[in-house]
Structures are given as C-alpha cells and as structure tokens.
Structure 1
Amino acid sequence: MTQHETAFAELDAAFPGRIERSEAVRAQHGAGDSWHPAALPDAVFMAQSTEEVAQAVRICAAHGCPIVPFGAGSCIEGQVNATQGGLCIDLSSMDKVLRVSPEDMDCSVQAGLTRQRLNEDLRATGLFLPIDIGAHATLGGMASTRASGTMTVRHGTMADLVMGLTVVLPDGQIVRTGGRARKSSSGYDLTHLFIGAEGTLGIITELTLRLTGIPEASKAGLYSFASIEAATQTVVEALQFGLCLNRIELMDTLQVKAINAYNKVSLPEQPTLLVDLAGSQGQVEADRDTFDALADENGAEVHPVDTPEQYAKAWALRHSALYAARGLRPGCSSLSTDVCVPVSELPRILTEIEAVLQDEGIVAPMHGHVGDGNFHLVMLFDPESVEEKARVQKVHGQLVARAIELGGTATGEHGVGLGKKSYMEAEHGAALALMKTLKRAVDPANLMNPGKIFDL
C-alpha cells in the first residue's frame, strides 16, 4: 500500500463514508473555470468544521499526501487543479454566518459561504460586503486569491476587508490571526500573509470581515466614446475630482458588439464606460451631473440610466461580459487574463495590445475595472488547434511583460495559480526568493497546494 493509500485508509476510518473516490466527484474538483487542463485529486473530503479540516490535514501530513483546498471551483488560473494528486478538501459545506455585529460593522463567517449568501443575510442590517466579482465564489477562496471586482475603486480588495482569519497549517495546527480591532501594531501581520497565498501556506476556514453601510442612493451612467483614450481620460479626471464613484467599468468596441449579440440589445458599438455612483441622494445627483459634463467634454454620447429597472439592466449587461465574449466563437476555449497597470497607462497598453491582437488575428474582447487599472482580455482560440493556442499564449506573455514594464502586475485579481507562475520572477525579483523561504518554513514538505504560484 502506498503512502497516499495509507492516508486514505486512515481518513476512511476517521470519516466513514465521507471520503469520495469516484471519478465523477474527482473530476468535479479537478479543474476550475479556466483553460488549464484538468488534474484530478485522488480523493475528495467534504469538511464540515475547522476541527475536521485539521484532523484530515494531520493524517495527510503524517503520510506525505498533498492537499488542495476547494471552495466553489470558480478560479481562473488552475488554483484547484491537483497536479500531484492527493486529497481535495472541499469547504463548501462550511457555509455558516457565525456572528454579525451591526454596531461594529463586522462579521465572522465560515470559508465556504459565498458573498451573495452573506449579503442576502446582511440586508436587514443595512450593511454589506462591498466586493462585486463575476462568480459565485466562496469567501475563503476570495481571500486566498485576494479577489476584488468592480467596487475596488471605492472599497478596495479582500485584503482591505479581511480583519482576521482562522487557518489550518500544514501540520494540522489551528491558528487565529488578526482580530476585530480596527487597527493593531501587535506583531507580524499574519492575516495578510495568508491572503493571496492561494492555499499554499494553509487552509482558511473562517474569516472576520469588515462591512460597510448600504448607500442611501445609487445612480449609473452609460457613456459611448470615440476612443479608448477619451474614455480613460474621463476616468482620470473624474478620479481627480473626488466624485463618489463606486464602479467604473470599461468595455471596448468588440466587447460591446458581443454584449449586443448575446443580450439582443443595441448599444452603440464604441468604447463604453458604465459608471456607478453611490452616496447620499444629493451627492449622487450632483456627482453624476459632473461626470456627465466631463464625459461630454471628452466627446461622449450620454445614455440615460435613471430608473431602478434601467440601473439593473445596465449592470446585468456588464456582468454578462465574459459569457458574451465567449459567444463570439461558440465551441472555442478562452484564455481570460487580468493584468493591472496604473490608470494613466491604460490608453498606452490597450492601444499596443490591440495592434498585436490584430496582427495575430486573435479575437479578444476587453472589459475592465478601469477605475483601478485592472482589465480583462478574453482571448478566444480553437482548443483543437495547437497553432492557435500557441499564438494566444505568446500574446498573453507579451501583455503581461508590458504590464510589468509599465509598473503593473501580472494579475490584478485572478491570482497566479498555474497560469501566471512564469512571470513571478520578472515582477518580484529577489522578493520571490523570500516567498519561497516563507513557503519552506511554513510547509517544509510542500504538501499545501503544491506547484501553485511558484515551483520549489
């Protein structure tokens, strides 16, 4: 019996009937929502508590069995792919709200809870978690990839909203980091060591989160421009004005065409901004008038978004962007990338990459969170064509390299996983060696999600 099989026998004894070995269940947990080839775990365990996770990890550690945490499987860069087999620990059943403190505007939750469920539960309190990503992801997974989404321009990323964590370390020890105080100068900031670590240092099982009040009023605006440059110039000016901007989304001409076709609508097929302002009624009205004026000065056509129905429809169109983009080439695969650059560099990098895409003949709609400089290209390719896939990967590499040259990053929110590993040294230099040192110190046997972010 191999070491892994010995571990699974002990797990079966500890959790009778709960260690899944069927190919269907393993396949369900061996790939995220990405272009990376699936890599199945040898077994799957549906954990129900932090103590169960710790017990399973201790058994795996004793037998050198790799461990891959799993939330909703919505990851883009292969973070859940079990490239070395082992045990997948699924935390999706750990989905309870443990505590809500409206007076302190914070809460504690289990890692398997989704942000949608949390915000539904919080609605009666007048509070919400201001993270708006496109997937129904779990909060543990969102912390592990340092997720953000459309509201980053105002509220920041998961790194700004997580106050404390419960984490199971690679030896099965349970540690709690951070706390509920709004600030602390006490010791190392271990909470942020685990945020963005993609399960390579431990398994997040509980989170304490900072909440914010649901704004009194929200208003949207839809603006069509003659060029990307004019759209981004409007954004830069609006940010400098200090408007109550909540979301600023940019879609290029091809993305608007895709949205029109997918949703049976007829937006002008030009670079388009979708803007959301939130605050008091008077502030929102005044700031949208100011944004309208700025957009008009940059040659925009303004499309009224005045009623709640129009507001909901406008944001539904934006949230359909990925599926609309994929609809341009039915049956094709997509490499969805997410570089982030300083906002002032957006026109340059978008102009440059558009020329490269045209030269290479690649269909790649663009949409992005332009208020923070993060954008997505959905590069479509025939999965049966080795040549097409190679072209897409080459352009992807050129895009990431250029983003780093301009002071940006290889990934604004999708994380590194398998897909962005090769760019880590160019972005981080000597700091990458420090990351590896930390990994070896916390996980000397390299059992926690091995092969993700970097190789040892």
Structure 2
Amino acid sequence: MSATRFTRAAKPLCRSLAVNPVNPAARRRFTTTPVRRAATGSGPGPSPRIAPGWSLSGVFAIAAGAGLLGWVVSEARHGTLPGAVLLDGQFPGPRYASLRGMEQALEEIRQEISEDIISIEPEDLHAHGYSEWSTVNPEGLPVAVAYPRSTEQVSTIARICHKYCVPIIPYSGGSSLEGNFSAPFGGISVDFAYMDQIVQFNKNDMDVVVQPSIGWQDLNEQLAKMNSGLFFPIDPGPSAKIGGMIGTNCSGTNAVKYGTMKDWVINLTVVLADGTVVKTRRRPRKSSAGYNLNGLFVGSEGTLGLVTEATLKLAVIPEEFSVAVVTFPSIRDAASAAAGVMQQGIPVAAMEIMDEVQMKVVNMGKATAPRVWKEMPTLFFKFAGTKAGVKENINMVQKITKANKGSNFEFAKDAREQKLLWSARKESLWSMLSLRKEGEEVWSTDVAVPFSRLADIIEVSKKEMDDLGLFASILGHIGDGNFHESIIYNRQDPKEREKVEVCVKNMVKRALDMEGTCTGEHSIGWGKKESLVWEVGHDTLGVMKAIKAALDPNWIMNPGKIFDRHRK
C-alpha cells in the first residue's frame, strides 16, 4: 500500500492559486461516461427535489463557479484581495485551487486510476451538494464526484487533491441533517458507493471489518443470512451508512442499551489529507497503547481524514424481544415516566418519545396504514434479553408508567406486530416530509440534556413553538436525554424562517443552560458552528483547530464543517 509521507508543513504546499475560470466549452472536455451509483449507495427515501431557485440546466453553471467562489471567499478571509480583512492571524483562511487547478487534479486522477472514476454530470453534482434533509444548504456544488473502489484509490485521490489544494468532501448515505456533505468551496465529493462490502467476519471474536458505504441494515441482513447469531446494534435512520455513522458519532433508538457509535469501533483505516494511510489500532477490544485515535476520528465528520475500513464490535442477538407503546395525557407525564424507568435502572433496549403532534403526523402521512394511532404523547419501549428478564422488565415498566398517568399499554403479539408498533417511530421524519406543500421545508434538529431535565426543556420548547404559530413536532431518544424538533415552514417567507431560526437557537441555548449539548447525534456540520462556540468556547475550539491544522494544514478535508478556519 503506497502513500506519500505525511508532511507537517508550516505553510500550505498548494498549487494553482491563480483565478482562471473556464468556459462551458472547456468544461465539457472533462465530461466522461456517467457513473451509476450502486444500489446500496443511493440516498435516503424519495429522490431529492431541486433546490429552491435551481434548475438542472443551472446546476452545471453553479458547479462550474463553485471552485471560483470558494477561492474568492478564502482569499478574502486570507486578506489578499483588495479591501479584505484578515480575521485570524493564527488560523488564516485556506487558499484553494482555481478551476483550472481543479481540472488539472481531475485529469491527474483519471490518468492514475481510470476515466470512469470521475463524474461531472449535473444530476450527480446536485445530489452531492444539496440535501432536502438538511437544515442548511450553503451555495456551491462540487466540481466533480469521485467513486473510488479501494483504500489505494482513495489515497491517490487525496494525494492529488493535496498537491493542488482541492477540497475533498466525503459522501456515503447522504442522510445527514446539518449540511455535512455540502461543498461550499467546490472541490471533489468522494462517494464511497462502490465500497460497501464486508471485508472480514470474525465470528469467534464477535467483530467484523467493513467498508464505509455498507448500511447498518444491510450489514445486519448479511449477518442474519450467515446465521451468525450476532448483530450490529447502532440503529439511526434506515438509510445511514457506516462511514457517515462514524463521521457523526450517531446513535439511534438502541442507544439507551448499547451506547453510541464510538462504543462499537475497534479500529479504523483512515486516509489522511496528503494520502497517507494509517490504522488507528489493532483488533483487540481493549488497548492502552498510545493516543486514542479512534476517539479523534469518530465524530470528526471527515474533517481529519477519510475512513475506508472499520472494524466493529458485534453483539449477541437477544433470546427474546418485545415491543410496547403507552400513551400519556401530557409530554411531562411521559418524560417523568421515562426518567423513572432510568432512575430504577431497568435495562430497556430502547425508549422513545413522540408528542401528540408527531403521532398526528404519522396518521396523516399514512406511513403505517391501516394502523391509526392515538394522538397523544406516546412512549415506545423495546425490551430484549432472556424470556424471564423481559417479562420482569415489562412488569416494572408497567408499574412506573401507570404511576405517571400512562394508559393504553399495548404489546406486540408477534414479530409482525413488533415491526408495526415500532414503525411509527421509524417513519416519523418521512411522515413529516410527506406533509410538505409547495415551497415548504422541514427543519429537523436535535439537542441533548441530562435526562432529569428533559421534561423541562421539551415543555418549554413546545410552548414556544405553539406561541410562534409553528407546525412542529417533538420526538426523541428519551432514555439518554436526546430529543429532536421537526418544524415545517415556508422557505419563501423570510419572517417564517426567522421564527424557526429563533426557536432553534432558543432550544440550543436552553439545552446549554441545562448543562446539555447543542447536538446529541446529528453533529455540527455547516449548520451548528455558532452553537459549538456557545457550547465549548474559543479556547476549546482552538485546540480542535490545532489538531485540524496538524493533520490537514491546507484545510482541504471537508472544509467549512464543525468550524471555520478564522476565529470569529
């Protein structure tokens, strides 16, 4: 496995910094046969709609200008354009390749790997720069999409991009919610659609080595076909891929029992900004050998390196499963019942909450038809373990929920009903999206607080949304204090968008006042950079930037995510 030596350069080694935009005729020289995405690499749910104000005929032109726009912005931050202001002497703005430099990089990638690894089809560029799922979509698209097939090819792409100072944006499932895979500075989107395999399965050691674009559901299906008796327990949105799950340190409904993504990563193979390939650890489940590099890359959103393989722990499939739902007269009653379950240490496999609005949304969206749900605050429980253990846990939970005004406690009679009862929770976002009218979007975001404060923040946040006249719902992983707001708003109405922004900012500030976090599992991306400053402060952010500068001195790895290079 060849790779260039990691260079800790004091100054960027970038080339082609001069502005040299190309015309459409020149751009067409680089068109190749369209690359078709593998089935497992397709985006979530329905096909993405065209971004507001964009047409497919205009996508090409926007992409062609993305590199130039990124260069101009970075030059302004660097202070080299007339009238520009240097915002931070310690972390000056990045200087990216001109469009001509990006073209040279693409040509070099084609020469070293192959012609069909690169696509600049308008539909591809749009799908890799805009997301209907995201709360934010900064202007700009990638100038190309690369589809590598191996770690070696990813290393080659990174080495060439490092040479020309071309931004690199990783892409796997495309289901992130905070603009995580947007391309505000142009550059190359690296789509791992063809890297979606199980590399090695170690049944006796209860671990598996996988590539980044395998979905967690696909992984579990393959483990089931092998009659392994094992499964991977982290379960975010159905379309999530392992690479994105590592990048955002996601969790899902099973987090109350199994923890988050960081708890299940044994080691990673990572391609650094200059093409160097590193392995974070060996395969034992525990090690005290040196720095915990897993903890560095998990949750870094591709800003420090590109994960090309991951060794993951697996869990034993429990002997018994049961699913139940119970309704409450108020969201506070439901949250109080959930806190009681946690405080008594009852080992539920999952515990989710949905308010009356979200239950109504599920009914209106008909995602679980013909089932019609009571439109009341509802707790969803999943129980797993031995038969005797599950029975005992159910009895204890029933007593707690009854003491907190819970009613209509309903159990699934078989596996089919288990799937049906749990589907209301899993279909929540899709149901909300299905209710949009022309010009409307869904703003979905999350925070997390100590679970003893969850009832307080949910109650106040719901009241504020109602007072502002917003159609909004609340749902969340109540067992670990994480909840989500989903708000439908008219994107063409500036006043309505301003209301939503105020509501979300207030929710974040409340969470921080309660010693919580601005994001429990959606990560920072482009959309919550200001919130991260509120949460950790400039000194802590400075430490993060120092790590970023050491591993990625040219600031090409997913730039603009988590934080900007300048200080303010």
TM over 0.5: yes
Contact kept in structure 1, 2:234 and 2:254, CA below 8 Å: yes
Give 1:100's aligned residue: 201
Q: Does 1:294 align with 2:400?
A: yes
Structure 1 position 139, deviation (Å): 0.3
- Runs ≥4 in structure 1, deviation > 6 angstroms? none
Q: Does 1:179 align with 2:278?
A: no
1:231-310 equivalence runs, <5 A: 231-263=334-366, 264=369, 265-308=371-414, 309-310=416-417
State the aligned residue count: 456
The residue type equivalent to 1:192 in the other structure is: G
Aligned equivalents of 1:409, 1:293: Cα separation in 2: 31
Aligned equivalents of 2:557, 2:309: Cα separation in 1: 18
Contact kept in structure 1, 2:412 and 2:421, CA below 8 Å: no
Give 1:375's aligned residue: 483
Counterpart among 419, 425, 431 of residue 324 in structure 1: 431
Give 1:9's aligned residue: 107
Counterpart among 112, 122, 143 of residue 42 in structure 1: 143
Structure 1 counterpart SS, 2:349 = strand
Counterpart among 430, 434, 453 of residue 543 in structure 2: 434
1:135-146 equivalence runs, <5 A: 135-146=238-249
Structure 1 counterpart SS, 2:442 = strand
Counterpart among 182, 185, 189 of residue 84 in structure 1: 185
Structure 2 counterpart SS, 1:304 = strand
Contact kept in structure 2, 1:179 and 1:208, CA below 8 Å: no
Structure 1 position 320, deviation (Å): 1.0
1:63-82 equivalence runs, <5 A: 63-82=164-183
Deviations 1:192-245 (A, max 9, x none): 100000000000000000110111111111111111221112112212222230
Deviations 1:124-164 (A, max 9, x none): 10100101112311101110010100000000010100010
Aligned equivalents of 1:78, 1:261: Cα separation in 2: 28
The residue type equivalent to 1:315 in the other structure is: W
The residue type equivalent to 1:235 in the other structure is: A
Counterpart among 480, 501, 511 of residue 393 in structure 1: 501
Counterpart among 445, 451, 456 of residue 554 in structure 2: 445
1:158-197 equivalence runs, <5 A: 158-197=261-300
Contact kept in structure 1, 2:135 and 2:445, CA below 8 Å: no
Structure 2 counterpart SS, 1:166 = strand
Q: Does 1:423 align with 2:527?
A: no
Give 2:419's aligned residue: 312
Contact kept in structure 2, 1:196 and 1:415, CA below 8 Å: yes
Q: Does 1:115 align with 2:216?
A: yes
Structure 1 counterpart SS, 2:448 = coil
Give 2:564's aligned residue: 455
The residue type equivalent to 1:325 in the other structure is: M
Contact kept in structure 1, 2:234 and 2:255, CA below 8 Å: yes
Structure 1 position 355, deviation (Å): 1.6
Aligned equivalents of 2:531, 2:360: Cα separation in 1: 32
Contact kept in structure 2, 1:221 and 1:304, CA below 8 Å: yes
Contact kept in structure 2, 1:326 and 1:378, CA below 8 Å: no
Structure 1 position 328, deviation (Å): 4.1
Counterpart among 147, 151, 158 of residue 57 in structure 1: 158
Give 2:303's aligned residue: 200
Superposition TM-score, scaled by structure 1 size:
0.98
> Which ranges in structure 2 are unaligned for 5 or more consecutive residues?
1-19, 21-99
Structure 1 counterpart SS, 2:471 = coil
Counterpart among 214, 228, 231 of residue 331 in structure 2: 228
Deviates more, 1:307-316 or 1:416-425: 307-316
Aligned equivalents of 1:303, 1:230: Cα separation in 2: 14
Q: Give identity over the alignment, percent.
A: 38
Contact kept in structure 2, 1:70 and 1:88, CA below 8 Å: yes
Structure 1 position 305, deviation (Å): 1.5
Give 1:21's aligned residue: 120
Give 1:218's aligned residue: 321
Structure 1 position 329, deviation (Å): 4.0
Aligned equivalents of 1:304, 1:130: Cα separation in 2: 24
Superposition TM-score, scaled by structure 2 size:
0.79
Deviates more, 1:54-63 or 1:298-307: 298-307
Deviates more, 1:136-145 or 1:37-46: 37-46
Structure 1 position 82, deviation (Å): 0.7
